[in-house]
Structure 1
Amino acid sequence: MKKQILKNLIILLLAPAVGFVLLLLVHLLPTGPIKSNVISSKDSIIAEGQDELVIDDYNATLTGNFTDCIMLQLSIYDGGHSAPDQAMNLYRNEVGNEEEWCPGLSLVDYLNGSPTRLEVAYPRYWHGYLVFLKPLLLFTSFNSIRLINAGLQLILLAASLILFSKKGHSKLAFSFVASLPFMFFFSSFASLSLSICMYIMLLEMLIISLFNEKLAEKEGYLTFFLVGGSATAYFDFLTYPLVTLAFPLIAVLALKEEKAKKTYLSILKYSLTWGIGYVFMWASKWVIALIFTGRNTISDAVNTISARTSATDGGRIAGYLKVLKNNLSPFVNRAFALLIILLGAIVIVLIIKNGLKNFGFAQRIPVLIIGLIPFVWWFVASNHSFEHASFTCRNFAIFVFALCFALIKDINLADKKESDSNS
């Protein structure tokens, strides 16, 4: 156990250093070819604007173009800063002002070669996605990356579903895929920013499906969740990060099948470990920026956290009700009503056809507790969840995953298959 703790401590301390070096290296790449490949997709950027809906009247199907344009700007911007300065403070041009950003217009303005009107910095996040985005844009266009993005997500999903099913965890696989529509999975295909947590979560699920036995030995899952939290803080913009904790947590509980006391302990241990990785990685960015550039981003980050966790108008409780309304309203429509009816019908048919074994509510409580994580997050980060409900609503998929698995976990599919093979 001591060796495991020491190993995790080393990983925790090394992660920010590795993250910094990787960002430093990609900021040494020439911006000219990268800019040329972004220019080749300029017509699409102009046509779509800052925020494009995949499906009209469904705000939660936003492609995240506002943030994508920022990502593209940070990939191509050359303001004459040193590599460490640009890597840590992330400067870019802005046609708006410090309070009202217009990244779409700013990106097009920069692509057209217009003089920089205002230079702004975006240092509170790591922007680790640049480690992949800048090299990709060196060789291909933004539109091509979107196509690659869609294909790669589907491949990762298919691989994990096949492996889970092949190893006898078809109920977990079914619950997993049933939850994805509630994450507006299809709209992430065309979005860079909304794909980040999706990729981390899909990779985590794939790793679990491949190496569960090894990870279960000697508390390997502690390292797994530590790295998961660190990676989320490094790559993500604070979109819907909880899926990188809750989805693999549900999968691990389903595969380990521990006794109740150990199950609750596992939830606590893995959640705390993920949280430590997330918070330490994020906070280390501000310290490294201060050391290497002299810019104090700590106060900016603390002010942002304070604002994001503040109550909305009307106080904490009244504000929370507004937050719930904003985050649940995307699912109150005919499309999701039909989807819920369909899922319910499938579950009922499976129960009638195969029967249940060892049905007990107590066995479902741990998974259902994980399903409540989004509601806790919406309460803690009320302001952020209220203002950005178009993507924080995707956390609701956690509840759907947990509820679906809790309902079907004791369906007698394995026994049915075994009896058929013996007859």
Structure 2
Amino acid sequence: MLSTIRNLIFIFIIMVFLGFSLMVISYSLPTDHAYECIIQDAGQFDDLYREIIPGYASTRLDLFTDVVFLSATSYYDENISLIENSMSFLHVSGSNLNSYVNGDYSGIWSYSRYWGGYLVVLKLFFLFFNYNTFKILELFFALVVILGIIKEMIKKNLKNFIIPFLFSLFFIHLEVMVLNIQFSVMLNIMLISVFLLLKFKEIIFKNNRLFYYFLIIGMATSFFDLLTCPLLSFAVPMIFYLLLEKDQSNIKDNLCKIFLFGIIWSVGYVGMWVSKWIIASIILNENIVTDALNQLLFRTSSVGYSRIGAILSNVLVYKKKSYLIIFLLIAIYYIKRLRDYRNNISKNNLKELSPFFVIAMIPFVWYFILSNHSTIHFWFTYRDLFIFFFSIMCSLELIIRRKFYT
């Protein structure tokens, strides 16, 4: 175990160094083409929060943050050093886009508490392509990875869980996520993480490598994401782990694994974030740590926001007739199947499925703690409910197939 801890520390240090290096390298790339692209595409940002399906907050785009990403991709402050630029995350807000494309940079401000690691991808991408090309290629990439996951699920004898996986993707509106730089970040991290876990199961499951896997995922989430629905990168791979181990592990072991892997993921996630605060504070000679902690206290505050209300805000995204019809159809489907296998339902069997029920509750705990953030941004934080849908439907499939833990 001591060697595992040493390896975790080593991986953490390497990941921080790699993240820092990638940011510096990406900021050394030219920005002319990216700036031309944002000028050409400025008309797409007249309505920063438009809904793909009017009246459905679940389909709302976050073009405000896409402007943040695009302006950061295309801006470089000649008055400060390369390293200072890379740690500053300088950008304009959506409301200042028109001024920015007309050469007025007075609206530039800093997001230095975030790594903004997706800029590594965007700065390279926008050397050659534009915003619309990104959306098309993102859709193609997501579909390819999803097909890869389905192929691996079939090979790993998890074909009964393909429908729950696809239904869960439907409920978080995959078609909207691929149209938004902001939302595509966590979609990509989740899909890639799951694909790698399935594809390289024999490698990852040996010699405590699952600890390294969840540490790296946690750190990658902190590096790339801007606090959208980060739990997807922990809980969804965790569900797949439970499915892969359904015939080898017992309930106690899996509850322990949820706790341990959750701790490791959290250390990676929080640790990577804190490392940015410290590095940026040193390089920029500013107190980024205090700024970040103030934001953390603000986002977890319940002043003016109800913690229970935060949960309801996210759940009630689905308070639409269309969703209720779909939920009803899915309920009828599973009720009919469960009636045929009602002998499989018992108190003991439900107890055996408690690891899935524990994971299903994780989004609600997150909403409760981050009540401010989860209430204000309910129209995208609701996507953490993928975890609830997928976990519950997997539990139902396990009951039907009578595949419980030994």
- TM-score normalised according to structure 1 size: 0.90
* Aligned residue number for residue 85 of structure 2: 86
Inter-CA distance 364–181: structure 2 relative to 1 (3 Å threshold): same
Q: State the shift of 1:357 in Å.
A: 5.5
* Aligned residue number for residue 259 of structure 1: 250
- Letter of the 1:266 partner, please give it: K
- Letter of the 2:373 partner, please give it: H
CA deviations on 1:195-244 (whole Å, 9 max, x unpaired) are 11111000111011111222111121111110110000000000110111
* Aligned residue number for residue 261 of structure 2: 270
Q: State the shift of 1:355 in Å.
A: 7.7
Q: Is the 8 A contact 1:245 1:274 kept in 2?
A: yes
* Aligned residue number for residue 326 of structure 2: 339
Q: Is the 8 A contact 2:58 2:172 kept in 1?
A: no
Confirm whether residue 227 of structure 1 aligns to residue 226 of structure 2. no
- Letter of the 2:300 partner, please give it: T
Q: State the shift of 1:339 in Å.
A: 1.5
CA deviations on 1:313-349 (whole Å, 9 max, x unpaired) are 27xxxx1222122111111111111221222233345
Q: Is the 8 A contact 1:178 1:343 kept in 2?
A: no
Inter-CA distance 6–384: structure 2 relative to 1 (3 Å threshold): same
- Name the SS of the counterpart of 2:208 in structure 1: helix
Q: State the shift of 1:165 in Å.
A: 2.0
Inter-CA distance 352–165: structure 2 relative to 1 (3 Å threshold): farther
Q: 1:111 aligns with which of 95, 101, 109?
A: 101
Q: State the shift of 1:6 in Å.
A: 1.7
* Aligned residue number for residue 301 of structure 1: 292
Q: Is the 8 A contact 1:37 1:139 kept in 2?
A: no
Distance 1:35 1:127 in 2: 18
Runs of 4+ in 1 over 3 A off after TM superposition: 348-359
Worse-matched range after superposition: 276-285 or 168-177: 168-177
Q: Show the 5 A alignment for 1:8-407.
A: 8-46=8-46, 49-80=47-78, 81-93=80-92, 103-113=93-103, 115-257=104-246, 258-313=249-304, 319-351=306-338, 360-407=349-396
Distance 1:208 1:58 in 2: 34
- Name the SS of the counterpart of 1:190 in structure 2: coil
- Letter of the 2:100 partner, please give it: Y
Distance 1:118 1:336 in 2: 41
Q: State the shift of 1:352 in Å.
A: 5.7
- Name the SS of the counterpart of 2:163 in structure 1: helix
Q: Is the 8 A contact 1:312 1:382 kept in 2?
A: no
Across the aligned residues of Structure 1 and Structure 2, the Cα RMSD in angstroms comes to 1.8
Q: State the shift of 1:353 in Å.
A: 6.4
- Name the SS of the counterpart of 1:217 in structure 2: coil
- Letter of the 1:111 partner, please give it: V
Distance 1:153 1:57 in 2: 26
Distance 1:327 1:170 in 2: 30
Worse-matched range after superposition: 178-187 or 188-197: 178-187
Inter-CA distance 353–165: structure 2 relative to 1 (3 Å threshold): farther
Q: State the shift of 1:166 in Å.
A: 2.7
- Percent same amino acid at aligned positions? 28
- Name the SS of the counterpart of 1:175 in structure 2: helix
Q: Is the 8 A contact 2:66 2:181 kept in 1?
A: yes
- Name the SS of the counterpart of 2:28 in structure 1: coil
- Name the SS of the counterpart of 2:385 in structure 1: helix
Distance 2:252 2:309 in 1: 36
Q: Which structure 2 residue ranges, 5 or more long, are not aligned?
A: none
- Name the SS of the counterpart of 2:282 in structure 1: helix
Inter-CA distance 118–348: structure 2 relative to 1 (3 Å threshold): closer
Inter-CA distance 144–268: structure 2 relative to 1 (3 Å threshold): same
Q: State the shift of 1:149 in Å.
A: 0.9
Worse-matched range after superposition: 187-196 or 176-185: 176-185
Distance 1:310 1:211 in 2: 41
Inter-CA distance 355–216: structure 2 relative to 1 (3 Å threshold): farther
